[in-house]
Structure 1
Amino acid sequence: MKKSVDKMVEELKETASKDDGEGEQKNEEVKEIEDEENLKKKEEVDDDKQEKVDEKLVAEAVTEEQLVKETNQKQRAEKAEVPTVECKKCMETGSAYTEKDEKFRTRDTELTKIEILFKDKCKEMFENEKVLKDNDEKLTQK
């Protein structure tokens, strides 16, 4: 499209230089066409510049957004480390309590066994004592 406009301008210049009487009118037409062409070129250049500026702004915005995201991720990671350490402490404390609880359960079980044995022995002793008393009474009666 630009080439066709350039060709038209050249043709008009040639015809204008050939025609002396009509040359002034054609020169004016050529000037008008050249002015229009220059305006179009300026607009295209301005559009190109604006597009480049827009692209730079978009690139800067994306870069800033990425930096913000990275910063947020780093902050989250730092915050996440603290609860992890605290969690480990809690887990250690919890496992210590679990071990103590298990020891208490074992001791309770052992004490229950001892208690049962003690009661059984006491029953045996009472029974033996009763038998001995009965035997003693029988002997004293005879």
Structure 2
Amino acid sequence: MSSEQGDASTAPTVVTSSSPAMAVPEGMPRSSDRWVIEPSGQAWTGFALSEWELTAAGWSDQHPHSETNYVLEGELHVESGGVTVVARTGDTVTVPAGQVGRYWAPVHARMLAIYGANPAGEASRNVGYWEV
């Protein structure tokens, strides 16, 4: 897992668009997300981009692709491979392909998630949600 700390004053402005909402299963009221750049199908060779939020909640998953989160606001805790990083506004955190990532926001965090290529179209596994 890698992280970079950024300068909050250089954070980009995110414009809300009519991008489709991602499916958030019932029972996860403290999490929301939407596609900014949707994957081109089950398998993709470029990248995908989503905006998501956690409010006093956590999420875990294991992707077949890398996932880099850029924190737009708040504080996001990320644990992967036994290493925990606390990312704040302007920071990035990357969980490598194939590793389990655990993400939680003790109060609130809003992020952009950049998903690497998934040319084989493999599904994510070990998905979990909890409230803090």
What TM-score bracket applies, with the shorter chain setting the length? under 0.3
Q: Provide the TM-score with structure 2 as the length reference.
A: 0.13
Q: Which has the larger radius of gyration?
A: 1
* More strand as a share of residues: 2
